[in-house]
Chain A
């Protein structure tokens, strides 16, 4: 029986090496491409009709749009609108990567820490640059709360600094951990089904419920990832 970790292995599909650096096109790359192509297809087919009374595909595209638009309006504010394309892309990519991972034999892109960390690092660097561009050196006040006595800076500044630097870590680890744990659990329970023979019907029933839960988590985590990006963006624009 396959080990529960085997599903996370990366295999090169098209080996490419440039100057000693391994740039192979792997199964991970393949599923990223699938996520991008599929989301582009779904959205462009969805908005092609532009009907006043939308059909299913158009409703789907409009719903996704509205979710992100509302999220930005509630969490960033009016001036967050210009960042809509970035946040929408982020949300759609994570959402599709998570959901595609639920298909059997598919590779879950977001179950690799380096993938989620890269996404989080892009957000972190972009937000930090934005903060400095907006407020200049005044952005450093992020690390010192208003009205605190000056001598407390010795403690508060390192604490705030560490908590600021921990953002990309917590953002990426949360998504990675959720996806990895879910998929390992599914595989382990599925192993019981085979091992128990006829009595395997009980773990099978549990597996059905678990799959539903995993689908819910896949959507929820894409949502959480995006909403936290919005909150960080808000902090950079308005400084608490």
Chain B
């Protein structure tokens, strides 16, 4: 390749131009959003499932611990299971909101890139 020859001035500019060309080519060949969403779908699903169950587990554990400490079995555990479930749904809601925000950002960026320069 003649482009690789080191020829003093101008070679850096040429390299820059080549990089730009490769970048724009790569952009065009990028995965469609649907494809990317499919692959990320499992990760998102698992993330939400873990978020929900972790909060319930933590709530139950706190309730159980308090019950053992205060001798109020099983009442605090029942209350804290409910609190844990609420916290779990709250986390799921927040995660969904955040994913939504991220997707909107990505779409806005994609739209920006498609406009002619």
Q: Are B90 and A159 touching (Cβ within 8 A)?
A: yes
Q: Are A166 and B55 touching (Cβ within 8 A)?
A: yes
- Residues of A near B62 (CB, < 8 A) are 162, 165
Chain A residue nearest in CB terms to B90: A163
- A178 lies within 8 A of chain B by Cβ: yes
| Minimum CB–CB distance for B72 against chain A, Å | 16
- A153 lies within 8 A of chain B by Cβ: no
Q: Are B80 and A162 touching (Cβ within 8 A)?
A: yes
Mark contacts of A53-78 with chain B using CB atoms, 8 A cut-off: 1 yes-contact digit, 0 otherwise: 10000000000000000000000000
Given A170-B54, A177-B50, residue A162 in contact with residue B83 (CB < 8 A): yes
| Minimum CB–CB distance for A139 against chain B, Å | 18
Q: Are A166 and B57 touching (Cβ within 8 A)?
A: yes
Number of interchain pairs (Cβ within 8 Å): 62
Q: Tell me, in angstroms, the Cα distance from A190 to B46 when the chains sit together.
A: 24
- Residues of A near B51 (CB, < 8 A) are 166, 170
Q: Tell me, in angstroms, the Cα distance from A224 to B51 when the chains sit together.
A: 13
Q: Are B46 and A160 touching (Cβ within 8 A)?
A: no
- A contacts with B, residue count (CB < 8 A): 22
Among A158, A170, A173, A231, the most chain B Cβ lie within 10 Å of the Cβ of: A170
Q: Are A174 and B58 touching (Cβ within 8 A)?
A: no
- Residues of A near B39 (CB, < 8 A) are 216
- Residues of B near A165 (CB, < 8 A) are 58, 62
Provide the main secondary structure of the chain B interface: helix
- Residues of B near A231 (CB, < 8 A) are 98
| Minimum CB–CB distance for B74 against chain A, Å | 17
- A90 lies within 8 A of chain B by Cβ: no
Given A163-B90, A174-B50, residue A158 in contact with residue B83 (CB < 8 A): yes
CB < 8 Å: which of A53, A155, A158, A224 contacts B15? A53
- A130 lies within 8 A of chain B by Cβ: no
Task: State which residues 185-240 of A face B: CB under 8 Å.
Answer: 216-217, 220-221, 224, 231
Chain B interface residues toward A at CB < 8 A:
12, 15, 39-40, 43, 46-47, 50-51, 53-55, 57-59, 62, 80, 83-84, 86-88, 90-91, 98
Q: A163-B88, A170-B91 are in contact. List 19 more A-B contacts (CB 8 A).
A: A155-B86, A162-B58, A162-B59, A162-B83, A162-B87, A163-B55, A166-B58, A166-B84, A166-B91, A169-B54, A170-B54, A173-B53, A173-B54, A174-B47, A174-B50, A177-B46, A177-B50, A221-B43, A224-B47
Q: Which 6 A-B pairs have the closest CB atoms?
A: A170-B54, A163-B87, A162-B87, A169-B54, A166-B55, A166-B58
Chain A interface residues toward B at CB < 8 A:
52-53, 155, 158-160, 162-163, 165-166, 169-170, 173-174, 177-178, 216-217, 220-221, 224, 231
